[in-house]
């Protein structure tokens, strides 16, 4: 290919994907079915309907349909902030002195600051289409809550966010973004729900937890007429919506005749990673191409590299369906000094199965080196990355430096899921030399594995 | 034109401007020369050289050269975050039910969050090319300081930012972004400079002011070997660099055969407005086209709509050259309840002259309606705008609603200078119903006009 590659490859709007891809359709080993926590039997659409929108419940359980049309209304919204650019990291390459070509798919060019919006708008759309009044959700740091509030304001849908109380108080900026988009943000545990009142009575002055916020959001959804609960990661439906990342990436590479060698993504619940790699993994599954795919997780929360492949609860409150996944046990709590996101105890069942089948490699990195890579990247590429995304940056830099040694001109593609503008407390810690690493001991992991259910 | 207009018009990198435009070359009535504060005579390049880089001093005083080549190194940096999209506000149009077509040039897709980076990178480049070690500047809220620290880190140039102490303490996020890019950020007044020590001795416990921070930055530049002082607005050199906004806007409109009718920009010091409108004003000056150009300023700091056209100090410290401009007097201090940016007492001498010659109209708006427009815009267009940019949004909406009454299909173009991610304290005030309006009385203005020098 002699075509000159620009700094940023933008697809035309007419080149944007019109369908999401469901990689399960191409998987010979399907992810194990999710189980009803009450019966421990595979859930049905009917059992999911009181909690999820009907269309989303169908997507969740569908492992045979390869493509879902993206509804026109969602395409319209996508066009406000997509296509996202595929950026050639010329300046980083030069700084590293590597012969490798580094590309990143940048998902931070929207007010939610991350890829979360890709699924939030889909979930809001299906809720609206079903004639619902609103949706409920929980949020920790607030990234997902922000994306959902933007999506709901677009469709004029009520949005009720239960935000872990400590974050509500310590992260007022995220809270205010959500309020600006019209969401009601309630510190959890609250007095709005039975479970919240119970927790407040039992533990006066508690600052809350994600598990508790999930419980409140689910109760709020099931006890109000016309409401459903929505979730920002882990679920297969979310991963389907996020394939817009990978489909655009592949279209942009194809447009310039670039063949990716290594594809790198950070992995928390797996929605971003799964969305990025699905179309590439699909090619591998169909025997059409081969790629090296690397999932990057924090050493402090190493579900793929040190977890067990087993059925587990998706939430600490144990009210959501069980999924078979790489997990540290739903009782696992990452060290409080952990500043780099990606705190989820398990991993998307699709990503887990692909990993178990050897299509994906995994690597864990420590947060001090993640922030070092983030700062190095920011100073030459201009974008201040989210700590989560910076896990992928770290490994992309490592791979590019390997190429410097071997002389290989590899094409390295990584997902830059978002910006770090609301993560400056973590950056301040790093700037002040106060970021410390934490790796759980085998004993600690054994203890949290003990919280795995016997299925 | 039958060509379908996409949501976002991106130029190809090959279509990006290769030169900045200097509108003074086409002005029959040139802006009055800037004066040396010591001699009250027009300054020379030689007199500016101890403070500014030589190349920038030349640009500052050049009112005959119509175009300046953009150096390759700057073009390379521009390509990391430019071209900026010209967005068709389909969703806002639909919400308003207007026949008008609304476009906005979005300058917020970079970590500094605004257009400031366009000039920061130019100023850093010329400093590097001159073999300097570093630059100094002041910053209030931190937008300019952030842009400059990004630019300096790219060219490996030392960056010393004097940040008004109250902002340093109350806006730690901006401070940390600057530190992440390697800048040293000093709360002003500091003990680093003579003027800082003097102010600290006279007013123990003072939280500082922009005037004081400027004085410290200038002293730091002139007393350290290999340093110069740089400024983010008001100056003609800054306005030249910012014409990349207007040139891209015009190229994007031309590409789709769109003729702008009304062009709207917010105006503080005038660099964004001047940069956006220069190429259009140039056409008007050359008799090639006609546009309605509207500068929007806050009612609380109304330099164009209620100011005097006179020589004034550019800084409250009275150490920078004097410029003839629309001004409220350098002693003017906007109300402390003012949350919406654009606090500068004067206006770029180029913009002032164009306004005086009738090529630009001006309108002032109150901050409660600015935040109302900002929220309305965010909820349908997705982007959370900076309060400064939202002044332009307010008037763009007003103009679009006028078209709804008259049925005119006007093409309205406005500058969306940046995002509001670091302005959530102001949004919180609005969300809580605590934004109040403030319009200075005639008596107050008379008092500040009394601070005008007699030249």
- Could you please report the per-residue DSSP string of A291-333? -EEEEEEETTS-HHHH-EEEEEESSTTS-SPEEEEEES-TT--
CB-nearest to A382 from B6, B150, B384 is B150
Q: What integer pLDDT is reported at residue B172 of this predicted model? A: 86
CATH code of the domain containing B189: 3.40.50.1100
Q: What integer pLDDT is reported at residue A185 of this predicted model? A: 97
Domain count, chain A: 2
The distance from CA B419 to its chain's CA centroid, rounded to whole angstroms, is 14
Confidence of residue A208 (pLDDT cuts 50, 70, 90): confident
Confidence of residue A301 (pLDDT cuts 50, 70, 90): very high
Q: What integer pLDDT is reported at residue A332 of this predicted model? A: 87
| pLDDT for residue A265 is more than 60 | yes
A111/B422 CB distance under 8 A: no
Q: What integer pLDDT is reported at residue A1 of this predicted model? A: 44
Residues in B closer than 8 angstroms to A182, CB to CB, are 379
Tens digit of pLDDT for each residue in A131-176?
999 999 999 878 899 999 999 999 999 999 999 898 898 888 999 9
The residue ranking higher by pLDDT, A150 or B339, is A150
According to DSSP, residue A152 is labeled: H
- Same domain (yes/no): B401, B252: yes
Tens digit of pLDDT for each residue in B234-269?
999 999 999 999 999 999 999 999 999 999 999 999
Residues in B closer than 8 angstroms to A383, CB to CB, are 110-111
pTM, two decimal places? 0.95
ipTM value: 0.92
Assess if residue A4 is contained within a domain. no
Residues in A closer than 8 angstroms to B428, CB to CB, are 172, 176, 179
- Same domain (yes/no): B283, B346: yes
CA distance B174 to chain A (A): 8
Residues in A closer than 8 angstroms to B12, CB to CB, are 6
Tens digit of pLDDT for each residue in A50-93?
999 999 999 999 999 999 999 999 999 999 999 999 999 999 99
- Same domain (yes/no): A250, A349: yes
Tens digit of pLDDT for each residue in B121-148?
999 999 999 999 999 999 987 889 999 9
Averaged over B354-376, what is the pLDDT? 97
- Same domain (yes/no): B280, B159: no
Q: What integer pLDDT is reported at residue B1 of this predicted model? A: 44
Q: What integer pLDDT is reported at residue B45 of this predicted model? A: 97
- Same domain (yes/no): B198, B340: no
Averaged over B67-74, what is the pLDDT? 98
CB B245 within 8 A of CB B9: no
- Same domain (yes/no): A304, A221: no
What residue numbers bound the domain in which A49 lies? 22-69+116-229
- Same domain (yes/no): A184, A220: yes
Q: What is the mean pLDDT of chain A?
A: 94
The Cα-based distances of A319 to A45, A237, A334, B44, B54 in angstroms read 16, 18, 21, 75, 68
- Same domain (yes/no): A38, A167: yes
CB-nearest to A80 from B79, B173, B381 is B381
| pLDDT for residue B19 is more than 90 | yes
A378/B182 CB distance under 8 A: no
- Tokens representing B369 are 């309606």
**Helix or strand run (H / E) with residue A214:** helix A210-223
Confidence of residue B283 (pLDDT cuts 50, 70, 90): very high
CB-nearest to B7 from A79, A110, A177 is A79
Assess if residue A340 is contained within a domain. yes
Out of A164, A199, A229, pick the residue that ends a domain. Answer: A229
Q: What is the mean pLDDT of chain B?
A: 94
Out of B197, B229, B261, pick the residue that ends a domain. Answer: B229
Averaged over B431-436, what is the pLDDT? 94
| pLDDT for residue A207 is more than 90 | no
Averaged over B334-338, what is the pLDDT? 75
Percent of chain A at pLDDT > 90 equals: 85
Q: Which of A424, A427, A432, A433 to mutate to test the interface with B (most CBs of B within 10 A)?
A: A424
CA distance B426 to chain A (A): 10
- Same domain (yes/no): B257, B314: yes
Confidence of residue A319 (pLDDT cuts 50, 70, 90): confident
What does the alpha-carbon distance between residue B135 and residue B120 come to, in Å, rounded to a whole number? 11
What does the alpha-carbon distance between residue B42 and residue B55 come to, in Å, rounded to a whole number? 18
Tens digit of pLDDT for each residue in B168-181?
988 889 999 999 99
CA distance A19 to chain B (A): 19
Averaged over A220-249, what is the pLDDT? 96
């Amino acid at each position: 290919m002699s075509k000159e590659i620009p700094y940023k490859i933008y697809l035309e709007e007419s080149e944007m994907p019109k369908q999401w891809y469901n990689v399960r359709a191409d998987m010979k080993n399907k992810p194990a079915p999710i189980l009803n926590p009450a019966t421990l039997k595979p859930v049905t659409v009917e059992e999911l309907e009181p909690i999820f929108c009907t269309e989303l419940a169908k997507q969740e359980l569908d492992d045979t349909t390869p493509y879902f049309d993206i509804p026109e209304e969602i395409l319209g919204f996508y066009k406000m902030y997509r296509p996202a650019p595929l950026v050639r990291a010329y300046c980083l390459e030069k700084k590293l002195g590597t012969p490798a070509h580094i590309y990143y798919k940048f998902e931070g060019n929207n007010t939610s600051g991350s890829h979360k919006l890709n699924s939030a708008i889909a979930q809001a759309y299906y809720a609206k289409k079903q004639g619902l009044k609103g949706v409920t959700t929980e949020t920790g740091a607030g990234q997902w809550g922000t994306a959902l509030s933007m999506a709901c304001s677009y469709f004029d849908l009520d949005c009720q966010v239960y935000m872990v109380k400590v974050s509500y108080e310590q992260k007022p900026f995220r809270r205010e973004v959500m309020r600006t988009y019209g969401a009601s943000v309630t510190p959890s545990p609250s007095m709005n729900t039975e479970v919240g009142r119970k927790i407040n009575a039992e533990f006066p002055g508690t600052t809350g937890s994600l598990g508790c916020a999930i419980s409140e959001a689910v109760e709020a959804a099931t006890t109000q007429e016309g409401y459903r609960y929505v979730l920002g990661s882990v679920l297969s439906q979310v991963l389907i919506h996020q394939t817009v990342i990978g489909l655009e990436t592949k279209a942009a590479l194809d447009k310039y005749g670039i063949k990716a060698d290594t594809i790198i993504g950070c992995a928390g619940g797996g929605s971003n990673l799964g969305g990025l790699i699905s179309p590439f993994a699909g090619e591998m599954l169909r025997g059409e191409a081969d790629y090296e795919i690397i999932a990057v997780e924090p050493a402090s929360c190493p579900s793929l590299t040190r977890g067990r492949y087993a059925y587990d609860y998706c939430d600490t409150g144990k009210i959501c369906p069980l999924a078979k996944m790489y997990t540290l046990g739903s009782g696992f709590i990452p060290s409080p000094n952990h500043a780099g996101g990606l705190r989820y105890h398990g991993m998307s069942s699709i990503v887990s199965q692909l990993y178990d089948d050897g299509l994906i490699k995994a690597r864990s990195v420590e947060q001090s080196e993640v922030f070092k890579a983030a700062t190095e990247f920011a100073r030459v590429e201009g974008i201040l990355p989210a700590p989560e995304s910076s896990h992928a940056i770290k490994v992309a830099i490592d791979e590019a430096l390997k190429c410097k040694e071997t002389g290989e001109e590899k094409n390295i593609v990584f997902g830059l899921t978002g910006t770090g503008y609301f993560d400056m407390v973590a950056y301040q810690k790093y700037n002040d030399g106060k970021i410390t690493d934490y790796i759980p001991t085998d004993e600690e992991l054994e203890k949290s594995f003990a919280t795995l259910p016997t299925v």
